[in-house]
Amino acid sequence: MSENRRVRVRFAPSPTGALHIGGVRTALYNYLFARRHGGDFILRIEDTDSQRFVPGAEAYIIEALKWCGIEVDEGVEQGGPHAPYRQSERKDIYLKYAMQLVESGDAYYAFDSAEALDALRKQTEQQGGTFAYNHSVRTQLDTSLRLSADEVRSRIERGDQWVIRFKMPENENVEMDDLIRGHITINTSTLDDKVLYKSADALPTYHLANIVDDHLMEISHVIRGEEWLPSLPLHYLLYRAFGWTDTQPRFAHLPLLLKPQGQGKLSKRDGDKFGFPVFPLRWVAPDGEAAMGYREEGYLPEAFINMLALLGWNPGTEQELFDMNQLIEAFSLEKVSKSGARFNPDKAKWFNSQYLRRKSDDELGQMLLPMLKAEGIDTTLQRAVRAAGMIKERATFPADLLPLTRQMFVEPEQYDEKSVAKFWKADNVTRLGELADKLAGYSAIEAATVEPEVHQWIVDRQYSMGQMMNTLRIAILGISQGPSIFEICEFIGKDDTIRRIANAIGRLGKGK
C-alpha cells in the first residue's frame, strides 16, 4: 500500500430511505478527510438491492449533502472519470469479476432454491443448531463444488437460477488493520459463504459491487459505519482473491451514534419519542409516513454539521465551534473515538443558538420581516433588523425571533399571569404611574440618557430596582422578561411607552 497515493474517498449510501444522521456523519468525515488531504470525495449510489430500493431516496441524499455544504467531486450528478456512479448503471461490469473468482477457485456456483435452503435452515434449527452456508455444507449442496462441470453448464443453459458464492477458506486467521480500531484478527471458520452475484436479477450483491467499484474508482480510504466491520474479513479476502492487495484501500470504521439515554443505536423511534429529528431533511416515505428533519425544524446547516462532527471526533482541545473550513483544518481519523457517541438533543440546540447569534442583525432581520408580515404586522426591514438584533442571544431557532419581538411591534393585550401575580402590586403600580409622569417629561426616550437617570430616580426614592423594572416590563411587553427595557422603550417611542403603561393599568387594575 503506497503511502503517497492520492486520497480518494467515497460515500456509498444505498437508497433505501431517508439518510439517517449517522449516514450524514459518515459523509461528513469522508468529506473532511478528502479536503484535509487535498483529495477527492465521491458519491456512489449502491442500488443493487432492488428489493430495498425506495424511490426518492437518492434525490433526498443529494439534497441533504447540499444542504450540509458537503460538496461532491465525482458522483451521479457531477459525473467523473469513473462514471457511471450509480451501481445499477454499472450492471455489466460485475459478472466478469464474479466469474474470475469462480475460475480461480475462490467462488462457486450454487443452485439451491430458496425453499431448499429454508427447509435446511428449519431442519438445523430443530436439531438445536443455526444454519450457516459454509464449508461444512457447501460440498453437500447443489453447488459447482459437487456437480460436474457438464452438469453445471447444462443447468445454467436450461435456465436454472444460480448464485455465485465466495468460498470462504477454512480455519484461517485474517489479519486486518483499521485506522480507528487498530489490528484485528478473525478466524474464517466463523464466517459463511456470502453470495456475490445473483442470476435472478443479473446483479451483484453489496460485497462484490462494493469491492469492485472501490478498486476501479481507485479508492484510497474506506471510511464507513461500524456496522460494516463484520464484512471486513470478507472484503480483505476478496481483495486477495482478485490480486488487488497492493492497492487495497485502508479502512476506518466509525463508532455508532447512541441513543441520548440508555444503550443502543440512535433510531428513528428515539427521535419520534423524544421529539428531535434523526434525519437532516424532512422525509415523506412512499407510504405517506413523514419524519421530521433538522432543516425544517429550524436548524442552521453550519450548526448541524458542527454538532455532528463532534459526535465521535474531538479536536483534542476545548474548542467546540468550528465552521466547515476549521473542521477541515482540524480533522484527523486518529482523533475519532472507538466507542459510541451519545447523541444529545440539547447540545444540538445549543449549537444552533450559537450559530444564530453569530448571524448579523441584517440577516436576522431578513428572516424576521416575513414572519412579522405574515402576522399582519406592517413594518420596515430596518425596524425588523433592529428588533432582531436586540433579542438574538435569546433565540435558539429562527422561529423564536417572532415571539421574542412581537410585542415590540404590537402592544400586549394579554399579560403573563405569573409575572402579574409576582409584580403587579399596589405599590409597584403607583410607582409605575410616577415613572410614566417622569418619562412624559422627556422630549424623546433615548436609552443612553434615560436609563441612568431613571435608575438614579429609583435609588433616590428607595424603590426596589427589580420590582420597578419588572412592573415596567409587564406594562410594555406583557411579561417580566426580555432584553433591556429602555432600548425597547426607545424602539417603540415615548408616546407608545406612556400609552402602554396607561393601558396596562387600565386593563390590570391598580394591583393589590
Q: Is 53 exposed, middle or buried (0-12, 13-18, 19+ CB in 10 A)?
A: middle
Are 252 and 134 a contacting pair, CB within 8 Å? no
Q: To the nearest whole angstrom, how small is the minimum distance from the Cβ of residue 102 to ligand GLU?
A: 23
The residue (of 195 and 385) whose beta carbon lies closer to ligand GLU is 195
* 26-55 binders of ligand GLU (CB under 6 A): 46
The residue (of 234 and 450) whose beta carbon lies closer to ligand GLU is 234
In three-state form (DSSP H/G/I as H, E/B as E, the rest C), the secondary structure along 91-118 is: HHHHHHHHHHHHHHCCEEEECCCHHHHH
Residue with cell 444564530: 356
Q: Which grid coordinates are listed for 67? A: 444542504
Residue type (1 letter), 26: T
* 210-239 binders of ligand GLU (CB under 6 A): 210, 222, 224, 228
Helical segments of 424-493, H only: 426-440, 447-460, 465-477, 485-492
The residue (of 236 and 355) whose beta carbon lies closer to ligand GLU is 236
Q: How many CB atoms are closer than 10 A to CB 460?
A: 8
Site string for ligand GLU, 456-495 (x = CB under 6 A): ----------------------------------------
Angle between helices 426-440 and 465-477 in degrees, nearest 10: 70
Q: Give the integer Cα–Cα distance in Å for 206 and 264.
A: 25
> ω before 13 within 30° of 0 (cis)?
no
For the question of residue 268 being annotated catalytic, the response is: yes
The alpha carbon dihedral of 483, 485, 486, 491 has a sign of positive
Are 306 and 348 a contacting pair, CB within 8 Å? no
Q: To the nearest whole angstrom, how small is the minimum distance from the Cβ of residue 198 to ligand GLU?
A: 17
Number of residues engaging ligand GLU in binding (CB under 6 A): 9
What single-letter DSSP state applies at residue 478?
S
* 1-20 binders of ligand GLU (CB under 6 A): 12-14
Catalytic residue among 66, 91, 198, 268: 268
The distance between the two most distant Cα atoms of the chain, rounded to a whole number of Å, is 110
The residue (of 13 and 389) whose beta carbon lies closer to ligand GLU is 13
Q: To the nearest whole angstrom, how small is the minimum distance from the Cβ of residue 230 to ligand GLU?
A: 12
The residue (of 87 and 352) whose beta carbon lies closer to ligand GLU is 87
Q: Is 22 in the site for ligand GLU (CB under 6 A)?
A: no
Site string for ligand GLU, 54-93 (x = CB under 6 A): ----------------------------------------
The residue (of 47 and 487) whose beta carbon lies closer to ligand GLU is 47
Q: To the nearest whole angstrom, how small is the minimum distance from the Cβ of residue 55 to ligand GLU?
A: 17
The residue (of 12 and 429) whose beta carbon lies closer to ligand GLU is 12
Q: To the nearest whole angstrom, how small is the minimum distance from the Cβ of residue 12 to ligand GLU?
A: 4
Q: Give the integer Cα–Cα distance in Å for 455 and 486.
A: 11
Q: To the nearest whole angstrom, how small is the minimum distance from the Cβ of residue 234 to ligand GLU?
A: 11
* 192-211 binders of ligand GLU (CB under 6 A): 206, 210
Q: To the nearest whole angstrom, how small is the minimum distance from the Cβ of residue 11 to ligand GLU?
A: 7
In three-state form (DSSP H/G/I as H, E/B as E, the rest C), the secondary structure along 329-370 is: HHCCHHHECCCCEECCHHHHHHHHHHHHHCCCHHHHHHHHHH
Residues that bind ligand GLU (CB under 6 A): 12-14, 46, 206, 210, 222, 224, 228
Residues known to be catalytic: 268
